[in-house]
């Protein structure tokens, strides 16, 4: 596969996940939960999504934990970088 094809597939994958998450957010909003109930429900939904995603990851990548550890580490580093950028913007 060429780099262009991989980038196109990545773009399609991102769009698919974005659409899916957008639908979940709309559905949560329509369910009428507010305040602490909404927060609790969102935590339950995100846990279910994470579990299903991990199941899919393990089916595709196998049960070697190292790639998953690297992936989670990279996500945590990216979040820390985003949070640092947001905090720096707020202080200016």
Helices H / strands E in the chain, number of each = 3, 0
pLDDT in tens, 35-44: 999 999 989 9
Give dist(CA 46, CA 30) in Å, integer. Answer: 17
| Confidence at residue 80, expressed as pLDDT on a 0 to 100 scale | 94
Q: Are 37 and 28 in contact (CB under 8 A)?
A: no
Give dist(CA 52, CA 83) in Å, integer. Answer: 26
pLDDT in tens, 7-50: 999 999 999 999 998 998 899 889 999 999 999 998 999 999 99
């Amino acid at each position: 596969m060429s780099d262009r094809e991989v980038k196109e597939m990545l773009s399609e994958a991102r769009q698919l996940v974005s659409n899916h998450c957008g639908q979940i957010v709309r559905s949560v909003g329509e369910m009428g939960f507010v305040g602490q109930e909404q927060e609790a429900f969102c935590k339950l939904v995100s846990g279910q999504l994470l579990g299903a995603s991990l199941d899919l990851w393990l089916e595709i990548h196998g049960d070697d934990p190292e790639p998953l550890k690297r992936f989670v580490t990279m996500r945590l580093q990216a979040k820390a970088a985003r949070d640092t950028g947001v905090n720096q913007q707020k202080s200016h």
